[in-house]
Amino acid sequence: MSANFLSAKCRVRADLDGWGTCAIEPISAGETVAAFGGRCVSRSALDESGERPTHSVQIDDDLFIVTENGAPPGETIGHSCSPNCGIVGGILVVAMRNIAVGEILSYDHAMTMGCDLDEFRCACGSPACRRMVTGRDWMLPELQIAYRGFFSPYLAKRIGGRVRLDAERRAFAI
């Protein structure tokens, strides 16, 4: 039994830059394609132990789901700066649009990453590639618009807070 879920409409392909997942059946917008599972670990516990997990997903300001080494099915959805999937509820990977057979599934780590733990250089090939994916990318206005409804809840809360703060500043001319 894997700690993760991957839809039967997808297949893991080892030939995709080490690992990746593509659709083997058409997937409709809004369908769940994967779910993350594993150990829940705080950032302070990771820092104290010196552990730098190969596969982790941030689910709160100071909380990560960590998967042991290997490439369990639900964690084979790679990053793209022009993704076809988004994050719902922090752990579900959901199709943002209809996905055709053969398309590689991806989400943008800006949807989950709110700190510097997993920052990385990107060469996803998208014209919109940011080259460097950081824990501050969720702040980019264009991503906040493009990924509305597909951010991890803790990031959506941060974004909502900032929007309210900006509106209050305007209203009170602070």
The pattern of x and - marking residues 83 through 122 that bind Zn ion according to CB under 5 A reads ---------------------------------------x
The pattern of x and - marking residues 150 through 169 that bind Zn ion according to CB under 5 A reads --------------------
| Region of 10-18, 55-63, 100-108, 123-131 interacting with Zn ion (CB under 5 A) | 123-131
Question: Can you say whether the dihedral through the CA atoms of 122, 128, 134, 138 is positive or negative?
Answer: negative
Q: What are phi and psi of 167, to 5 degrees?
A: -65, -40
d(CA 18, CA 13): 8
Closest approach of Zn ion to the CB of residue 44, in Å: 30
Residue 58 vs residues 86, 147, 163: alpha-carbon distances, Å = 14, 17, 22
Asked if residue 9 lies in contact with residue 77, where contact means CB atoms within 8 angstroms, the answer is: no
| Region of 51-59, 125-133, 135-143, 155-163 interacting with Zn ion (CB under 5 A) | 125-133
Q: Name the residue type at position 54.
A: T
d(CA 51, CA 73): 22
Closest approach of Zn ion to the CB of residue 3, in Å: 27
Q: Which residues touch 140 (CB under 8 Å, ≥6 apart)?
A: 110
| Residue 129 near Zn ion by CB under 5 A | yes
The pattern of x and - marking residues 33 through 72 that bind Zn ion according to CB under 5 A reads ----------------------------------------
Q: Kindly tell me which of 98 and 134 has the beta carbon lying closer to Zn ion.
A: 134
Residues in contact with Zn ion by CB under 5 A are: 81, 122, 124, 129
